[in-house]
A and B are shown apart, each in its own frame.
Chain A
Amino acid sequence: MTNKEAAGTAGFTVLCAGEERTIRSFYCCDLLSHVMGQVLEDTCWCTVMGNINTIAVATLTEAACVVLCHGIPATEEMLRRAEENGITVLSTNMAEFDAAVALAKAGGIAL
């Protein structure tokens, strides 16, 4: 499943459409250093951290996309940086784990 396909999944809206990447795994976490320490490339990262640092970490870790959960808004600065770096940002009202499960089911990706 690509991040573009994920963006079309029911319950998700696009805040920033970045470069197309294939989602290979999921990670739910809000602590940036844990993400940097653990996350694999091409991960769909589900978080409530809607600030500019999220994009820095998504860029460094080569994340497939960021999903902002619980309807948390993104700052303008975050979305501007996401656009500059080609990072896809989605929004959902779901909790992090529920969002990962929904996208994994939609994309036929094993959790």
Chain B
Amino acid sequence: MNEDIKLSYTVPGDDFTRAGEASAHCKATLKKLGVDPAAIRRVAIALYEGEINLAIHAGGGNIDVTIGDDVCTMHLYDKGPGIPDIPLAMSEGYSTAPDEIRSLGFGAGMGLPNMKKYADTFEISSVVGEGTDIVMTVNI
């Protein structure tokens, strides 16, 4: 068994030119490791949606990625406003993104649903006023 690879990223708030750096770096790392391209695509998309959420809604946050022999675990956490109603936030089409974010092409209300769709496991917890914590895994 190989030792796990651990990657950590800080996502700045409201900087959409930098959001995507974690997913791009993670994608490149998985590619170097020879991981199946379909699994890499799922990791990259789920992670990018997470990065965008951190930038739009949480004023930034952190991402820790652990790449094991057969699973990639992504932990996203922030100290943002939290999510009052998680089932509502998880429903397709629901979005609280402001108009200027929508004008960039975001805010379709598909971020969290896409993360769940592409991950093999997805767990979310959130406390209003404290922040949100997401752990998702993709089998690789």
Instruction: Please report A residues at the B interface, Cβ cutoff 8 Å.
Output: 30-34, 36-37, 41, 47, 49, 51-54, 56-57, 59-62, 77
Taking the closest CB of chain B, its distance from the CB of A20, in whole angstroms, is 17
Could you say which of A47, A54, A60 has the most chain B C-beta atoms within 10 Å of its C-beta?
A60
Known contacts A60-B27, A60-B45; is-contact A32 B106 (Cβ 8 Å):
yes
Chain B: interface size category = 20 to 34
Decide if the interface of chain A is mainly helix, strand, loop or mixed: helix
Given A33-B106, A33-B111, A60-B27, 12 more A-B residue pairs with CB atoms under 8 Å apart are: A32-B106, A34-B110, A36-B49, A37-B110, A37-B117, A49-B104, A52-B16, A53-B106, A56-B24, A60-B23, A60-B41, A62-B37
Whether the pair B41, A32 counts as a contact (CB closer than 8 A) is no
Decide if the interface of chain B is mainly helix, strand, loop or mixed: helix
Taking the closest CB of chain B, its distance from the CB of A89, in whole angstroms, is 15
The 4 closest A-B pairs by CB, nearest first: A33-B110, A31-B108, A56-B20, A32-B105
